[in-house]
Amino acid sequence: MSSLRPDPTSRIHPEPEPTTTTSSPSIDHFDRLPDSLLLLVFNKIGDVKALGRCCVVCLRFHSLVPQVDNVVVRVDCVISDDDTSSSSSSTKSHSPSSSSGFSSIFRLVFGGIVKPFQVLGQLLGPKVNSRNGFLNSSLSVGTTTSTDDDTEPDQGGVTHHSPTQVLKNFNEIRFLRIELPSGELGIDDGVLLKWRADFGSTLDNCVILGAASVFTNNKNSFVMQENDAICNSTAAINNNNGVDDNGSIPESFYTNGGLKLRVVWTISSLIAASARHYLLQPIIAEHKTLDSLVLTDADGQGVLRMNREQLEELRVKPLSASSASKRTLVPALNMRLWYAPHLELPDGVVLKGATLVAIRPSDQAATKKDVSDISCLSTAFEEPYGTAAKMLVKRRTYCLEMNSF
C-alpha cells in the first residue's frame, strides 16, 4: 500500500496566493529613487549626447537632465570653408572675410602649417541662421535625426549643432569640458608640441613644451641602467659645482633654425589659445553658474582653462579682439625659456631638443603667482611630460619679450 507524500517542489516553490490587487498596475521601484541620486548618476555620465538620449526616456528624466552641473561636449567635426560655402548666402559673405586676415598672417610666418589654421579661422567665424536665429559656430556636435523643419541634416542624416545650441537647455552647469576632434597645429610625426593656457578677459599665463623628436630608449641590461645612474649622479654633482654649463644653449641652436622653430611653436600655440578663447564668449555669457571651463582636444595638444574668477572677469571686462582675425588679442609678453639638446626621463622616454617656455603678460601684477614656479609647471602637463618640465626648469633660464599681436 503506497503512502501519500507531499510534493517537495511545492515546498520550495509554493504557488503564490491569489490577491485582489493583481489587476492593478505594478509598482516601478525605480520611481522611488530620489532626484538627488539620479542627478548624481547623470553627472557621472557627463557626455552631452548620452544625456540627450536620457531626456527622451521619460518626463522625469527630461526635467532632471537640464539640472546637471557636470557636462562634457565632444565636438565631432570642424566645418571648413569648402563645407560651408554653399550652405547660405550669409555664410558666403561672412566666411571669406573672417578667414582671409587670419590665414594671411600664417602664409607669411608659418608656411607649412597654414592649412590647419585656415580651418581654425573658419572655425572662429560664427554665422547666424536666419531661420532659427541661433548663433552657429563651425564647431559641430552631430546627432542622428529625422527630417525636421528647423534643422538641416547633411547627406548622412546627421544634424550638426554648435556647442552653444547644445548647451542652451542646461541651466546649472558648473563644470564644462569641451573637446575638439584634434589639435589645430599641424606638426610632423614624432614632434612633440603641447601647451596649456589660462585666460580671464585676456591671457593670464601659458606654458609650452616642445621637442624636435620623442622616442623610447629601451635598456634591458641592469648593468647599463646602473652605469646610467652613476653617470647621472656624477653629472648632478658637476652641475652643483658649476663645472657643467648648466643648460647653456649651444651656438648651433641659433644657426641651424632651432631658435626660429621655437618661435614658430610659441606664436602658433598663443594664436591657437587666443582663438579658442574668443570662441567661448557666447557660452560664458549664457552660463553664469560656471565654476570651471576647459577647452581641450582629443590629441592632447592644447588645453585652455578658466576658473570661476577668470570667467567672472571676462563677463565684467570684455575681451579685446584682434583686428586681423577672430581671436582674442595677445598682450605684450615676458617669456622664460629652458632648453636641453638631449633630455632623458626616468621612464626611458628621450626628448631631443626639449624646450619649455613659460609666458605671462608684461603688465601682469607682481602679486600674481609666477608661471615659471616649479610647482606651477609640474602640474601643467600629464606624465611623463610633467617630469620633463621639472627637469628643464632647473637648467639655465633665458628671458625674452614679445610685443602684442
The three grid cell numbers given for residue 238, joined into one nine-digit string: 658637476
What is the mean pLDDT of the segment spanning 303-310?
96
% of the chain with per-residue pLDDT over 70: 63
Of 47, 37, 71, give the one whose Cα is nearest residue 291: 71
What is the mean pLDDT of the segment spanning 58-84?
80
pLDDT at residue 41 tops 90: yes
**Would you tell me how many other CB atoms lie within 10 Å of the CB of residue 47?**
13
Which tens digit of pLDDT belongs to each residue from 364-383?
Answer: 755 455 555 666 787 889 98
Higher pLDDT, 122 or 249: 249
Among 51-55, 236-240, 365-369, the least confident range? 236-240
Residues, the chain: 405
The pLDDT score that the predictor gives to residue 239 is: 41
| Mode of pairing for the β-strands spanning 192-199 and 139-144 | unpaired
The pair phi, psi for residue 142, each rounded to 5°, is -90, 140
Q: Where are the alpha helices (DSSP H) in 150-205?
A: 163-167
pLDDT at residue 50 tops 90: yes
Give dist(CA 117, CA 115) in Å, integer: 5
Among 191-195, 243-247, 339-343, the least confident range? 243-247
Q: Residue 230, class by beta-carbon neighbours within 10 Å (0-12 exposed, 13-18 middle, 19+ buried)? A: exposed
Give dist(CA 261, CA 306) in Å, integer: 29
SS3 173: coil
Tell me the CA end-to-end span of the chain in Å, nearest whole number. 108
The pLDDT score that the predictor gives to residue 98 is: 39
The pLDDT score that the predictor gives to residue 347 is: 87
**C-alpha count within 13 angstroms, C-beta hemisphere, residue 311:** 22
The three grid cell numbers given for residue 324, joined into one nine-digit string: 586681423
Whether the model clears a pTM of 0.85, i.e. scores above it, the answer is no
| DSSP assigned state of 108 | H
What's the whole-number average pLDDT of the chain? 74
Q: Residue 169, class by beta-carbon neighbours within 10 Å (0-12 exposed, 13-18 middle, 19+ buried)? A: exposed
The three grid cell numbers given for residue 162, joined into one nine-digit string: 554648435
pLDDT band at 205 (very low <50, low <70, confident <90, very high): very high
Buried b (16+ CB within 10 A) or exposed e, 231-259: eeeeeeeeeeeeeeeebebeeebeeeebb
The pLDDT score that the predictor gives to residue 187 is: 80
Which tens digit of pLDDT belongs to each residue from 256-273?
Answer: 888 899 999 999 999 999
Among 16-20, 47-51, 310-314, 321-325, the least confident range? 16-20
